[in-house]
Structure 1
Amino acid sequence: MSWRLPRQFAPELIRMLLRSPPPPPPGAPEATAEEIASANIAQQDVIEEVFSEVERELVDDREYRFKAWRLAGLGLLIVLTLAVALGRLLVGGPPSVAELRAQAGVDTWPVLRIGVKDDQYGTAYYDQEKRIWSGFDIDVAYMIAEDLGFRRADVRFYGLESEDRARMQAADPTTGDRVPVQLVIASYSITTDRKSAGVRFSQPYLYTEQSVITLKGHRPVSALQDLENQRVCTLSTSTSQTALDKAKAKVTQKNRVRECFAALDAGDVEAVSTDAAILAGWKHEFPDKYEHWDLGLESNERWGVNVGENPALETLVNLTLYRSFADPEDSRWEKAYEKNLQSEIDPKKKTPVAVGEQPRVERPEVGFLPWEDPLG
């Protein structure tokens, strides 16, 4: 049968056990050596049991107090975290989504006007007969529009030329009037010169590289130097021109890529050179007419969204890109890539089109209460 000694009685009991036994009464027989030894053994067993019980009680007490202090510390940590979060949010912290929307003016826009390209198969193309927009840039635009609170029916796309991307001006296809747009998502490469000139870019949403297309039967092109003294078409204000100039090609510039391909078909130029993601779409659309050449360049073209003079809108766009990058359940970017760009990879030559992973996006400074932060 087990028993538990009340801890407060242990010291007194030990003292009683350690006292010398009283002398035997007069006339009583003296205890034998065996009896004395047996009594000492019994006393020692009791003392050891008392010490063990006291030790167990002390351990239980320390564990209880440790757990109590730990729970109290956890509660204090939660309170401090909430206090700091609320303090940062209410006094000098990063702006909330609602504040950013108010600063950007998003809630006052009945529609979202986006400038895009309209002649780039796979990236941004407008089918005039079906009146349908398609391509990777179009899907990225819908992704951003969705997070800004716009339905697809409330998104207005406007085709624009390369030189209009910086000024954020497009032409209305029905009236020809100039239309200001709120976003430009038009295979627009992020460069230091463009940023210095005042273009406000989002973080990158695609990595691609410069490549070359020729007509079938053209001698192989493995480097830009193979185009020396040849007539090559590229887009106006394109980053591709710098490399072509260094290769001593005879460069012709056009505002739309379809104009470059018209010149190639007519024999006015011998090659077209711009971003691979753009050229791959034309090669995929006309596989028997063109040859797509990989130049093996190490530098990447980083496409970004031009948000104009609207820093709050830039943060909101970056928030969408970050969610798409960081949330494993958000596969909108991956689906856009697979549908529009992965399908264009040449199964034989496997000429690179674009990097098949979304570029890393740094988390933007946005204030959330701890219990409502969708990013964790």
Structure 2
Amino acid sequence: MRKKLSLLATAATAALLLAGCSGGDTAGTGTSDAPAATGPFAVASDVSLTGSPTYDAMKSADKVVIGVKEDQPGLGFLDATTGERSGFDIEIAEWVAASLGFAKDKIEYKAIPSANRESAIVNGDIDYYVGTYSITDKRKEQIDFAGPYFITGQGLLVAADDDSIKSENDLAGKTVCSATGSTPLQNIVANFPDTKTNSFDTYSQCVEALKDGQTDAVTTDQAILLGYASQDPDNLKVVGEPFSVENYGVGLPKGDDALRGFINDMFTNGNDSWQAIYDETLGQSGTVVEQPKVDAY
């Protein structure tokens, strides 16, 4: 019997499995006469969305450009050998595209480092961003968010043989690494004044720095860290409990209320699709969560 856990506990546990999402026929928002896409949703036809300059640009270009992460197992991961992308965030990104009428072959992915996400959206380099993107008031000064579509919390990754760090209470005098510009890094700087920090463009670089002894811990969302630990359990482990709450949203151009409302409606009305995506990616751990309610600000 599957045990129902809190969102934070589930997010932390679920990322251990790196499975991608298989096909299905659960429809998302919009008319769905077209063949099913790669996930549990169909590509919508006759999409009705007016007043969105971002959507108009997509239609004109006959493609959608999505910013993603590609070094986060279970969430947003690119297999360098096969070229296949997998993970919960990738399936959410494709669900949004399908609801807007774009099949997988009309998607162009761009890997964007955490520090460059806002500028990529503001400059029009991407149409939207899906990649463990925490909704914050500071970011909402430059961009907008649809969602949240997932909730997790900040955690710590350390060397498997390191018993000196058991939680965030043991960080005084230690050096902690995170992605440049990320919310977890900002949290350490603001709230742990006795802790040193270093940063790189990607979390995978922080993980390598940890293995090389250049840093004592890596911090980001615990769901992400468990993915890394599961890849190298002999050398890495996650310690403690989540010590923040992070709400993942879809990053959008500021002021595109029509697109934000459309995606929020998709999330609100598409629980079956959301649940299928979760169950076939992060939910393979056997846990159950409820889809979070969107913040329709």
TM-score range, shorter chain: 0.7 to 0.9
Alignment of 1:248-267 (within 5 A): 248-267=194-213
Deviation (angstroms), 1:103: 7.7
Q: Cα deviation per residue 1:38-73 (whole Å; 9 max; x = unaligned)?
A: xxxxxxxxxxxxxxxxxxxxxxxxxxxxxxxxxxxx
Aligned residue among 60, 68, 86 for 1:108: 60
Deviation (angstroms), 1:323: 1.6
Deviation (angstroms), 1:169: 6.0
Structure with the largest fraction of helix: 1
Amino acid at match of 1:338: D
Alignment of 1:269-288 (within 5 A): 269-288=215-234
- Structure 2, gaps ≥5 residues long: 1-46
Structure with the largest fraction of strand: 2
Q: Cα deviation per residue 1:94-140 (whole Å; 9 max; x = unaligned)?
A: xx934356784143231111000111111101112101111111000
Task: Indicate if the aligned counterparts of 2:121 and 2:253 stay in contact, CA closer than 8 A.
Answer: no
Larger Rg over CA atoms: 1
Amino acid at match of 2:117: R
Distance 1:355 1:165 in 2: 30
Moved over 6 A (4+): none
Amino acid at match of 2:282: L
Deviation (angstroms), 1:231: 1.2
TM-score computed with the length of structure 2 as normaliser? 0.76
Q: Match for residue 283 of structure 2?
A: 342
Distance 2:296 2:246 in 1: 22
Q: Match for residue 212 of structure 1?
A: 156
Moved more, 108-117 or 214-223: 214-223
Query: Secondary structure in 2 aligned to 1:192?
Result: coil
Aligned residue among 91, 97, 103 for 2:48: 97
Q: Cα deviation per residue 1:296-328 (whole Å; 9 max; x = unaligned)?
A: 42x410011111132222122112111223xxx
Amino acid at match of 2:274: W
Distance 1:199 1:311 in 2: 11
Q: Match for residue 268 of structure 2?
A: 322
Task: Indicate if the aligned counterparts of 2:160 and 2:233 stay in contact, CA closer than 8 A.
Answer: no
Query: Secondary structure in 1 aligned to 2:85?
Result: strand
Amino acid at match of 2:104: R
Deviation (angstroms), 1:267: 0.6
Residues 1:290 and 2:244 are matched in the alignment: no
Aligned length: 247
Alignment of 1:160-175 (within 5 A): 160-168=112-120
Deviation (angstroms), 1:266: 0.5
In structure 2, the CA distance between the partners of 1:362 and 1:227, relative to structure 1 (3 Å rule), is closer
Residues 1:194 and 2:139 are matched in the alignment: yes
Distance 2:295 2:198 in 1: 38
Distance 1:289 1:103 in 2: 44
In structure 2, the CA distance between the partners of 1:213 and 1:192, relative to structure 1 (3 Å rule), is same
Distance 2:154 2:187 in 1: 9
In structure 2, the CA distance between the partners of 1:129 and 1:229, relative to structure 1 (3 Å rule), is same
Relative contact order, higher structure (CA 8 A, sep 6+): 2
Deviation (angstroms), 1:357: 2.2
Q: Match for residue 122 of structure 1?
A: 74
- Structure 1, gaps ≥5 residues long: 1-95, 171-177, 346-353, 365-376
Task: Indicate if the aligned counterparts of 1:281 and 1:344 stay in contact, CA closer than 8 A.
Answer: no
Aligned residue among 276, 286, 289 for 1:356: 289
Q: Percent identity?
A: 28
Query: Secondary structure in 1 aligned to 2:251?
Result: coil
Q: Cα deviation per residue 1:223-251 (whole Å; 9 max; x = unaligned)?
A: 31211111110111111124323222111
TM-score computed with the length of structure 1 as normaliser? 0.61
Deviation (angstroms), 1:206: 0.7
Task: Indicate if the aligned counterparts of 1:263 and 1:269 stay in contact, CA closer than 8 A.
Answer: yes
Amino acid at match of 1:99: T
Distance 1:296 1:307 in 2: 27
Distance 2:172 2:264 in 1: 40
In structure 2, the CA distance between the partners of 1:126 and 1:273, relative to structure 1 (3 Å rule), is same
Task: Indicate if the aligned counterparts of 1:104 and 1:311 stay in contact, CA closer than 8 A.
Answer: no
